[in-house]
Chains A and B, each alone.
Chain A
Amino acid sequence: MLPRFRLTADPRGRHPIAVPVRPGQPPPEGCRAAADAAGFDPAAGTALRLDGVLRRPVWLVGAPDGLEAAGARAAAALLEEDAPDAPPGPAARRPARHRRAMLDARGLLPAEVAALAMGAGMRAHPLPFLGARPPPALHRLDLLVDDPDAAAPALRRTEALLRATGLARDLAAEPANRLTPAEFARRLTALERPGLSVTIHGRAWLERRGYGGLLAVGRGSAHPPALAVLRWAGAGGAPVAFVGKGITFDTGGISIKPAAGMEAMKGDMAGAAACAGAVLALALRGSPCAAVAVLAIAENATGAESYRPGDVLRTASGLTVEVVDTDAEGRLVLADALHHAGTLAPRAVIDLATLTGAIVRALGHQRAGLFGNDAVLRDALMAAGDAVGEPLWPMPIGAAHRSDLASDIADLRHCLPPPDPNRGGTGWAGKFLPDAAHAAAFLRDFVPPGTPWAHLDIAGMDVREEGVESGPYPLPPGPSGYGVRLLDRLVEGRFE
């Protein structure tokens, strides 16, 4: 995992040092005159490089919005810095002058040191790069603290979360020709080393058990679908279940998506990746809470065997579903995964999925949508989300959302047909479908009765894009790992 952290009380060294400066705090000794001359204002949240004041480059990093954001800002500054004699051109081609840097965390409590490290680690995490000259990366980040031993436990916890979030981000960033369902399963199996027990159910098993939703969605692809179950035993007891949508690439199927922007659909497994990361986080920090991640993995491709609009599928639970739009495939695979999670007698079930465009129209890129059947679980998720900077907002499942899904031929259908411009009579309001709520109403039918359940539609939150503000501090364009820390905090707050 990069960068590697090291706690030290020794301030000596020639590598660049970044110093967080909170509003009202003076800049460090020796930097004051230069900072004043440059007009440095910590409240503005900028980073200022000072050469020549100490015998190493110094970055003063304004910290008006918390230490985690400051850590991210510091890492961004350290990564972007130009070597003075570097050739002109894009940053990715310049040689990395410094692969090592120091963060001045003196005077901070252990929790604050951990926050600084979290932000820096999130920002500095190198996403997969498959070309010849990878962009410069920070290999080592020394944390200058007053008492290394006191800060060590909190830092270890942070490192566990960074590893877990890094796993989720790396998986989501992998293009679909590399991360096929089989490869996804293989990488999950590698998580046995940190102490998870991993079972991959392949197509034969799915067919024997009648997992018609997952099988149908994955049938059009050259790569067969799979159901992955990752278990963390904890101290025993009923597990908390995380259920994830793992569509390694979503073409839409027969109801094919338009070409523009389809490359983003390699990330349609971010929900499953986050669930895997969450269980890994619990294992890495030795949580006493038992947990299980159930991941529905498939590629929704167009092919001779693709499932068709109008098909009626028999899901694992026995309910039959009429397919209306093959691009609403996430809820079909989740139906089977939710049923499977139910067979494990969980204390609670939380599913994560990059499910609908509707939730982005509803809540934008600032909050994920939260649906469910249990107020206590909902409140715990809201609190966890706010605490870690992965916020949510509760949304209703109305009676009409479920009654809209009535089918003439099967137990229910999974969505409404898109409004047909050629057929009149729907009016203006009829053009707008509350699809996120329809999906949630659909999923609710597959949750075992009496089990607390929450559904997180993370379609607006899983990826950071250029020019779109999302999340508490900027991250480079790419997967954000949304959900890993949220679930970890949920477990810590509610289930331990």
Chain B
Amino acid sequence: MLDIAFAKPSLPESGALVLPLAEEDLGGLLLAEWDRLLGGHVARGLAAAEFKGRKGQTVSLYAPGGGLSRLLLVGLGKREALDAAGAEAAGGAAVAALGKEGVASIDARALGSGAAAADLALGAALRSWRFDRYRTKEKPEDKPRLTGIKILCDDPAAARAGWPARKAVAEGVFLTRELVSEPANILSPPEFADRLRKLEKLGVEVEVLGQKDLEKLGFGSMLCVSQGSAQPPRMVVMRWNGTDQKKRDSQPIAFIGKGVTFDTGGISIKPAGGMEDMKWDMAGAGVVSGLMAALAGRRAKADVVGIVGLVENMPSGTATRPGDVVTSYSGQTIEVINTDAEGRLVLADVLAYCKKRFDPAFMIDLATLTGAIIVALGNEHAGLFSNDDGLARRIEEAGRAVGEHAWRMPMGEAYDRQIRSDIADMKNVGGGRAGGSITAAQFIARFVDGCPWAHLDIAGVAWSGKDGPTVPKGATAWGVRLLDRLVADHHEGRIALPAPEPAVTEAAAVSGAGSASAALLSEGTPASEPLAPSPDAPAAPAAAPAPETAAAVPTSPARRPSTRRPRR
């Protein structure tokens, strides 16, 4: 990570100086001060380059005097629109432009408070991340040389106070990005689990279950995904309890991640083109891992469980065949129609297990689950499915605060009917290509057993093809910051958890008498589309709201057909 220091403003001896400026700052005191220190270069250069301070605008003035190698002006846009995201973006833009410099200072005074200086630092750190461990021939002059930045602000103590928590979040993001970027021959399920054991150093309890443990538990659904691979499966159960309550008295919150370290599709094999991307089919698990690192790293006062199901989906003589029927941990049977719909099979067992063992206040799962969600929403929004309106709303709000947007998608009985099976309790796909991400969510919903639950389909947002302000090209770690913010805003330092708000079930198709709208109105509005906030959907009247529950889970079924058990 970049070395970050905060200090009172002074003329740097050498290196680069970055000056973020809002549009209103042109002709202001800050600029005048630097102009004086640098002998008038700034004003001349600014005028020549026609720098207006617009958002994202950057101008470099080389050898501006005062021993500096470069003065970089970064536009912040209008002061009134400036927020944490703007400060972070400025830090990121600075780092992106400063690649060849060894040492740099950033004058954060235009941003205002001490917290903003810390945000700037976070943006810089996030943008500076690089995954180059497999490069053996890179010349030193091609590598970025920036090792540290000094952030100049009026109140360095305040900024320093705000930095450690942000730094911990950055470390969590970096862990996720690293896990997601690792190719599948390196990051197998056992290797992934081994890396997670290192979180014990931060105080996270880490429990690793292997093939035999999962067989004993009856994880027929998850194991049918891994059975074709030479790599054994792993389930890693992590717990961070930063509250002062004992574990047995505390009701944790839970995050679950899909960890398919490589997805060939199995017997329902994927086409060759683009299959290399499937090394990041474990991004959901990566995010949960990074989140645990972030929460533990900043000693969050929350009781959090993180569980990841790690498998590799391969075609082979022992692989699951389309048409196979497996029995899940919950006892429900699943007809596997398409072995490439494997993420939901892993989540089914992990979610049911999590509910049974921990009875959490809520479960949020993340998964790079369907191509259909990319067709639906593109690459700026993750799909959000939930049986609890309050939880969904809080996730959307947290996302808006950190710039990771979730968009609520519908669920309902009509979609659920599409996964009915003729010979088992359900199929793992349904409805052809129509509504693919929704039927996937309906499948998963059958395994949450009434727990407040949200599912984030991150297939479109987990990997980026181009650099962003704080996210370089590649693994985005979408979700770490959102969930960290969710925990910080609602689940730290207090006993009372928000009350469950079961989603209103789909209104009877046609009431004939003008029913009140049961529409669930989501508000995820990207910056390009300012919308007035809409009123919340009215709670259902007298009719008891029945949350979408999984079918009743028998605790000890009399006799269950065993799944095929390859030798390990």
Residues of A within 8 A of B (CB): 65-69, 109, 111-112, 114-116, 118-119, 358, 360-367, 373-376, 378-379, 382-383, 385-389, 391-402, 421, 424, 426-437, 460, 468-469, 471-473
Contact = CB atoms under 8 A, between A and B. Distances in A.
B410 A367 contact: yes
Given A386-B519, A389-B510, A431-B273, 8 more contacts: A375-B532, A376-B532, A382-B517, A388-B510, A393-B409, A424-B273, A434-B376, A472-B508
A364 B434 CA distance: 4
A64 to B, nearest CB: 9
A68 B512 contact: yes
B538 to A, nearest CB: 11
A373 B529 contact: yes
Contact of A402 (B375, B379, B528): B528
A430 B274 contact: yes
B110 interface: no
Interface stretch (B293-301, B435-443, B542-550): B435-443
Contacts of B439: 364
Given A426-B274, A431-B274, A386 B376 contact: no
A362 B417 contact: no
A114 B511 CA distance: 12
A434 B465 contact: no
Given A65-B509, A67-B512, A471-B509, A362 B379 contact: no
B323 to A, nearest CB: 20
B434 A365 contact: yes
A366 B512 contact: no
B460 A375 contact: no
B507 interface: yes
A347 B459 CA distance: 39
30 contacts: A116-B512, A361-B433, A362-B376, A363-B435, A364-B415, A364-B439, A365-B434, A366-B410, A373-B529, A375-B534, A378-B534, A379-B517, A383-B519, A385-B519, A396-B526, A398-B526, A400-B378, A400-B380, A427-B274, A428-B270, A428-B277, A428-B371, A429-B277, A429-B374, A429-B379, A429-B463, A431-B274, A434-B378, A436-B376, A472-B508
Contacts of A430: 274, 465
Contacts of B412: 366
B554 interface: no
Contacts of A383: 517, 519
Given A361-B375, A366-B414, A434-B375, A386 B507 contact: yes
B509 A432 contact: no
Provide the main secondary structure of the chain B interface. Answer: loop
A469 B434 CA distance: 11
Contacts of B4: none
Given A115-B513, A436-B376, A364 B274 contact: no
A416 B387 CA distance: 35
Given A68-B510, A366-B414, A434 B377 contact: yes
Interface in B334-360: none
User: B435, B438, B512 — which one has the most chain A CB atoms within 10 A of its CB?
Assistant: B512
Identify the interface centre among B374, B459, B524, B531: most chain A CB within 10 Å of its CB: B374
B104 to A, nearest CB: 29
B519 A428 contact: no
Contacts of B438: 363-364
Contact of B277 (A427, A435, A471): A427
Given A362-B372, A362-B375, A382-B519, A112 B513 contact: yes
A389 B509 contact: yes
A388 B508 CA distance: 11
Nearest to B378: A434
Contacts of B275: 428
Nearest to B506: A391
A65 B505 CA distance: 14
A398 B528 contact: yes
Contacts of A389: 509-510
Contacts of B521: 378-379, 382, 394
B371 A431 contact: yes
B489 interface: no
Contacts of B460: 429, 432
A280 B532 CA distance: 32
A406 to B, nearest CB: 14
Interface in B400-422: 405, 407, 409-410, 412, 414-415, 417-418
Given A388-B510, A396-B381, A428-B278, A362 B433 contact: no
A415 to B, nearest CB: 13
B510 A473 contact: yes
Given A366-B415, A394-B522, A427-B274, A66 B511 contact: yes
Contacts of A365: 431, 434-435
A386 B518 contact: yes
B393 to A, nearest CB: 15
A469 B439 CA distance: 14
A382 B515 CA distance: 12
Given A361-B372, A361-B375, A375 B531 contact: yes
Nearest to A404: B378
B418 to A, nearest CB: 8
B417 to A, nearest CB: 6
B406 to A, nearest CB: 10
Contact of B376 (A395, A397, A421): A395
Contacts of B436: 361
B526 A363 contact: no
B276 A427 contact: yes
B105 to A, nearest CB: 32
Contacts of B435: 360-366
A437 B377 contact: yes
A46 to B, nearest CB: 17
A387 B509 contact: no
B461 to A, nearest CB: 9
A373 to B, nearest CB: 7
